[in-house]
Amino acid sequence: MTMPPQLSLMIQRNDAVCPKSIASVFHGRRKTWGEIAARVARIAGGLRTLGLKEGDRVAMLALNSDRYLEFFFATSWAGLVFVPINIRLAPPEVVHWLSDSGSKALIVDDTFLKMIPAITPHLPDLAYVIHAGDSAIPDGMASFEALAQASGGDPSPRCGDELAGIFYTGGTTGVSKGVMLSHGNLVHNAMLMTYHTEYPSDPVYLHAAPMFHLADGASTFSQTMIGGAHAYVPAFTPESTLEAIERDRVTNVTLVPVMVNMLVHHPSAQNRDLSSLRIIGYGASPMPKAVLEKAMALMPNVRFFQAYGQTEVSPILTILSPQRHVFDGPMAGKAGSVGQPCLGMDARILDPDGNEVPRGTIGEVCARGPNVMLGYWNRPEQTAEVSKHGWHHTGDGGYMDEDGFIYIVDRMKDMIISGGENVYSAEVENALFSHSAVAECAVIGVPDDDWGERVHAVVRLHEGSEADAEALRTHCHTLIAGYKCPRSFDFVTTPLPLSGAGKILKTELRKPYWEGQSKQVH
């Protein structure tokens, strides 16, 4: 009889086949897979001893660490549902995520202890707060390490299409929604990652992206599935990430494009020993060609692959392989795409009526397959809205070429309509990014009495570089049509606002321009 997909089987298998292999390295704590398996079973038993019942939600608000890895698998082992919390949220937003998910327990590290008094009075259903730090245990809290001393038990039989975790969307384009992912969703995504990524032998994966987000979570589960080792930086900085790669002999890492940009421009990048690094996966937002070229020049022995998707597909839909990250030769010409549908996934470009459009025609990227979510937590109408015509609708505008490669042009809702013409901000941002003076940029639509909306660019220049609006506009004119070029600019000196997943918060950039407007189009 075939065993249904179950997350805890990854831990059980590693305990059986590689119990002495290093599983986790953090702050001097080195644990083998045998030790991790024992701790996961005991923490699961401890959570059940607290009084948590099968299906209860357990949240975690913490920086990256070895305990975060144990959180995912201990909750699964216990038959509970994990709810990772965005570390960038303000207290009212944390309250919303915890109350919306109905979380009964919250695991918190030292960094976020100070937030607890501000949120617990608003969470009458939160029964347990568990301290997972190295400082003294605050009064009234349970201890994560004490749970690890409990009596372990057999893993829960929850599997297949049963709920494993609720991952909230980033909220960069609206109110966050809880995405319900099953054991089957996450196990299948891990399997396709192991197939497409071509992991090196004895891989060491660095958690540099935040562990609450599935951009990192995809590798959390796939790295565990193959019995590789996990290393961590609590939160991404270019210096700490470069240091960790050198110190822990990291072989693979997942970064969002803004992180890659910061890494390759860091002053110490040229002086670090990055020779162990073999794979960099990236995604979550478009990668400017200029940034990719600089990264490939800095690390010529590293294979780059792009993963495109979203939380709702667990999260990977397409892969652009390392072989396609070239700009000349027979494999060239696809580097501007997000790749082809990955193993087991079907992707089509559909019109608003659910019909597939001709190749090369822009429509909405839609998907179906074992990665697609169970639905949005307690939001049946919104679940139905994105599940029309038997497909999951991503909300991304794009087209597919004759070889099945998908090109993303923009979020459908971020499209700018200027003078009756559709302008896709990603295309304009790519043009701006190719100017050597540009460190960061974001393109948004702002109200305009003549054009309805005009293309507006927010730009941060590299320190010591110079370029004015006219120079950047002239540069764009050499690459894209005139109606797409920015008509106005803001130049800033501080980094653009980011979500916890490393995406630029265009909602924040738009606010000053759309304040008082009855709708967000003009």
Region 231-256 average pLDDT: 96
Mark whether 388 and 469 lie in a shared domain: no
For the chain, the maximum distance between any two Cα atoms, rounded to a whole number of angstroms, is 70
Residue with tokens 């993963």: 307
Terminal CA-to-CA distance of the chain, rounded, Å? 59
Provide CB contacts within 8 A for 306, sequence distance 6+: 281, 282, 283, 287, 319, 320, 325, 338, 339
Mean pLDDT is lowest, of 266-270, 338-342, 421-425, 507-511, for 421-425
Which of 367, 397, 427 is the C-terminal boundary of a domain?
397
Which of 397, 426, 442 is the C-terminal boundary of a domain?
397
CA angle 26, 31, 33 (to 5 degrees): 130
Question: What CATH number does residue 434 fall under?
Answer: 3.30.300.30
Residue with tokens 């189009």: 521
Tell me phi and psi for residue 409, to 5 degrees.
-100, -30
Q: How far is CA 11 from the centre of its chain?
A: 23
Asked if 64 and 211 touch (Cβ cutoff 8 Å), the reply is yes
Our count of domains for the chain comes to 2
Provide CB contacts within 8 A for 248, sequence distance 6+: 25, 204, 206, 231
Residue with tokens 């004759």: 402
Provide CB contacts within 8 A for 143, sequence distance 6+: 130, 131, 137
Residue 522, pLDDT above cutoff 50: no
Asked if 486 and 471 touch (Cβ cutoff 8 Å), the reply is no
Alpha-carbon distance of 475 to 489, in angstroms, equals 14
Region 4-9 average pLDDT: 94
Please indicate, yes or no, if residue 412 is contained in any of the structural domains: no
Of the candidates 178, 171, 245, 264, which has an alpha carbon nearest to the alpha carbon of residue 501?
171
Mark whether 339 and 468 lie in a shared domain: no
pLDDT the model gives residue 419: 67
Region 43-48 average pLDDT: 97
Mark whether 365 and 430 lie in a shared domain: no
Is residue 65 classed as helix, strand or coil in its secondary structure? coil
Q: How many other C-beta atoms can be found within 10 angstroms of the C-beta atom of residue 239? A: 15
Q: How far is CA 158 from the centre of its chain?
A: 25
The string of DSSP codes covering 409-447 is EEEGGG-EEETTEEE-HHHHHHHHHTSTTEEEEEEEEEE
Q: How many other C-beta atoms can be found within 10 angstroms of the C-beta atom of residue 395? A: 16
Mark whether 284 and 352 lie in a shared domain: yes
Asked if 262 and 285 touch (Cβ cutoff 8 Å), the reply is no
pLDDT the model gives residue 237: 95
Q: Tens digit of pLDDT for each residue in 107-145?
A: 999 999 999 999 999 999 999 999 999 999 999 999 999
* Per-chain mean pLDDT for the chain: 92
Asked if 171 and 212 touch (Cβ cutoff 8 Å), the reply is no
Please indicate, yes or no, if residue 404 is contained in any of the structural domains: no
Mark whether 306 and 424 lie in a shared domain: no
Mark whether 380 and 476 lie in a shared domain: no
Mark whether 220 and 79 lie in a shared domain: yes
Please indicate, yes or no, if residue 376 is contained in any of the structural domains: yes
Residue 2, pLDDT above cutoff 90: no
Mark whether 80 and 220 lie in a shared domain: yes
pLDDT the model gives residue 425: 85
Please indicate, yes or no, if residue 25 is contained in any of the structural domains: yes
Alpha-carbon distance of 219 to 2, in angstroms, equals 25
Mark whether 230 and 100 lie in a shared domain: yes
Provide CB contacts within 8 A for 202, sequence distance 6+: 228, 229, 251
Long-range contacts of range 193-196, CB-CB < 8 Å, 24 or more positions apart? 193/218, 193/219, 193/221, 193/222, 193/316, 194/222, 194/225, 194/226, 195/342, 195/343, 196/305, 196/319, 196/321, 196/342, 196/343
Please indicate, yes or no, if residue 1 is contained in any of the structural domains: no
Where are the strands (E) in 369-437, listed by range? 375-376, 392-400, 406-411, 416-418, 421-423
Mark whether 375 and 423 lie in a shared domain: no
Tokens coding 262: 């910061």
Please indicate, yes or no, if residue 521 is contained in any of the structural domains: no
Region 500-504 average pLDDT: 75
Residue 170, pLDDT above cutoff 70: no
Mark whether 364 and 470 lie in a shared domain: no
Please indicate, yes or no, if residue 510 is contained in any of the structural domains: yes
What does the DSSP 8-state code read for residue 188? Answer: H
Which of 333, 365, 397 is the C-terminal boundary of a domain?
397
pLDDT the model gives residue 507: 82
Tell me phi and psi for residue 246, to 5 degrees.
-70, -45
Beta bridge partners of 350: 356, 364
Cis peptide before 121 (omega within 30 of 0): no
Question: What CATH number does residue 69 fall under?
Answer: 3.40.50.12780
Residue 158, pLDDT above cutoff 70: yes
Domain holding 168, by residue range, is 8-397
Asked if 260 and 280 touch (Cβ cutoff 8 Å), the reply is yes
Of the candidates 187, 236, 185, which has an alpha carbon nearest to the alpha carbon of residue 212?
236
Q: How far is CA 220 from the centre of its chain?
A: 11
Asked if 406 and 361 touch (Cβ cutoff 8 Å), the reply is no
Q: Tens digit of pLDDT for each residue in 413-445?
A: 677 877 666 687 888 898 899 999 999 999 999
pLDDT the model gives residue 173: 43
HSE at residue 305, side-chain half, CA atoms within 13 A, is 23
- pLDDT band at residue 258 under the 50/70/90 scheme: confident
Provide CB contacts within 8 A for 183, sequence distance 6+: 4, 5, 6, 7, 76, 158, 159, 160, 161, 162, 164
Asked if 256 and 263 touch (Cβ cutoff 8 Å), the reply is no
Mark whether 119 and 51 lie in a shared domain: yes
The amino acid that residue 38 corresponds to is A
Q: How many other C-beta atoms can be found within 10 angstroms of the C-beta atom of residue 13? A: 16
Is residue 367 classed as helix, strand or coil in its secondary structure? strand
Please indicate, yes or no, if residue 406 is contained in any of the structural domains: no
Alpha-carbon distance of 107 to 94, in angstroms, equals 13
Q: How many other C-beta atoms can be found within 10 angstroms of the C-beta atom of residue 402? A: 7
